[in-house]
Amino acid sequence: MKFSFKIGSIWGIPIELHLTFLLLILAIFVLSLLSNLNFYFFFIIIALFIFVVFHELAHSIVARRYNIKVRRIVLYPIGGVSEIEDPPNNPAQEWRMALSGPLTSLILGTIILAIGLALTPQLLPAALTFTLTGNLILDLATLNILLGLFNLIPAFPMDGGRVLRAVLAQHMNYSKATRLSVITGRILGIAMVIVGFILPGYFLLIIIGLFVYIGANQEGQQTQLTTKLAQLQVKDIMQPDTTMLDSTQTLTEAQEHMQKNQHHNALVQKNGAYLGIVTQNEITKIPPQQHNLLHIEQIPLVNIVIFDDQSILEADKLRLKEQLDLLPVVQKQNPTQIIGTLTTKNIAQAYEKTQNPNQQPT
């Protein structure tokens, strides 16, 4: 993800930190030095994002239960995002995934709160106000409870918005459920901004309201784009170029072909029949001095095809999974005959055309 970098991984899931999070930490640190803001508050902010990791891991665990791959978790100043490979189209799966994060935060908060009150029972009145008390255990409990409750707001991009969409999707189509959820998010976002302006001391609501409104709009635009792309088929955007290398050609010739066509892989045929895909990654595993001696058929090939009536979304998922920039297209009636190719450029143009339907192709 742009402007983020990996800081570690948990259960094989990369954890990335967005640049804006570092800017937030730096700003709080500078304020701690220049004002009366003590380092306890700085520590609390750090602790908050540790709990955000637990929150996002809960989403990831449930996603894995449904065999949905989690690419990474990215931490932002306003929380975390679990980037999954294939969002669930099953409403029951979606609301379970969405609820797992807030429930984890609420359970953690409740457990920590119980421990804190057992150790310091006289702080019960302060704990019920859900404000910082100066007691580390109670404050950590408050952070988790507020994190869970905040994410239950029924508006995108919070988890509550996804729960709302999943519930609606059980009674109507997915696109309509998304539209209604987006409208709800916009209304709540506007309401928060208005309340933030009217009530003194609630300036933070303005920022949260803007975040909710923008997040709802982005979700709506993304869903609209996905819906349109799902209606496009591979044959609508593929190119008829079926140039293939012969399996007896050398690795050097394969590299030259890739460089000429600006691809990192190429189609391979043997005796006129499609054999597979040779990739630059496999070639680079071979010492350069052997490239003129080895033939393409002597190294592992990727043996996949896509059908001309598949949706572009399905084809793009396969392309990303296999890390290819060129896919062979066949008809279901004759899966051994290549009728065209689908490239990264074709897919990018389809995305751009869908977003800007009036734009002339280049």
> By the 8 A CB rule, do 316 and 322 touch?
no
Q: Which of 16, 56, 94, 219 is catalytic?
A: 56
Cβ burial of 87 (10 Å; 0-12, 13-18, 19+) is middle
Is 56 considered catalytic here? Answer: yes
Q: Residue by residue, what is the 3-state secondary structure of the chain?
A: CCCEEEEEEECCEEEEEEHHHHHHHHHHHHHHHHCCCCHHHHHHHHHHHHHHHHHHHHHHHHHHHCCCCEEEEEEECCEEEEEECCCCCCHHHHHHHHHHHHHHHHHHHHHHHHHHHHHCHHHHHHHCCCCCCCCHHHHHHHHHHHHHHHHCCCCCCCHHHHHHHHHHHCCCCHHHHHHHHHHHHHHHHHHHHHHHHHCCCCHHHHHHHHHHHHHHHHHHHHHHHHHHHHCCEHHHHCECCCCCEECCCEHHHHHHHHHHHCCCEEEEEECCEEEEEEEHHHHHCCCHHHCCCCEHHHCCCECCCEECCCEHHHHHHHHHHHCCCEEEEEECCEEEEEEEEEEHHHHHHHHHHHHCCCCCCC
Catalytic residues: 56
